[in-house]
Amino acid sequence: MAKSRNISLLLTELYYLISRFLTTGPCRSAAEVLASELEEYQLLPCRLDWQGNEHPRSYEDLVAANRHIAPDHLMQICKQIGPILDKEVPSCVPGVHSLLGTGRQSLLRTSKDYGNVRRKGSSFAALHRGRPPEMHLTCKDPPNLVEVYRGRELTGTQRFSTVNPVSNYQHMRMHRRILGHLSAVYC
């Protein structure tokens, strides 16, 4: 039985959903082979009798018992994973959902993987092809200007984006709006 082989219920249900998904597509023969192997190796969820004893179940019995599960149930689950994950940990390209993505596009990303990265002072003094390294994509705050100037002092070069980040322009625009004339003034 599946339980005696230390196979989790989640894994047996996943095998079942994969075989159900294959039955509606062009790989129907693969679905038949998979269903027969699931029965042969007893990888389907077991049924319980009225005394609580487990018994192996055939693939057809499982399909009949789960009539509420559509053949494209696995596809529907996969379609919903991306939008749900985007609410928790946004991807770098919103609206693009791929099961094969990596990094910020991976469906396995977590909020811990993409926390606020702080660079060390020595990273501003390092050179890559004669230039300071690019800012990491997950850096939300501008770098410490003291460390940037120290790195420029040691290497002689610095990226303009680290010396004067884009966020400074936004602050300058706000200062200009706040410090400008608040009402009509005739000079």
Closest CA to 22 of 66, 75, 69: 75
Q: Where are the extended beta strands (E) located within the chain? A: 47-48, 54-55
List CB contacts of 107: < 8 A, sequence separation 6 or more: 81, 82, 85, 97, 99, 101
Q: What is the per-residue pLDDT across 84-93, written as a single tens digit (0 to 9) for each?
A: 988 888 887 8
List CB contacts of 101: < 8 A, sequence separation 6 or more: 91, 107
Overall average pLDDT of the 22-37 stretch? 94
Q: What is the per-residue pLDDT across 136-168, written as a single tens digit (0 to 9) for each?
A: 655 666 667 677 677 767 776 655 555 566 666
**Residue 180 pLDDT:** 55
Q: How far apart are the first and last CA of the chain?
A: 90
The CA distance from 139 to 119, in Å, is 9
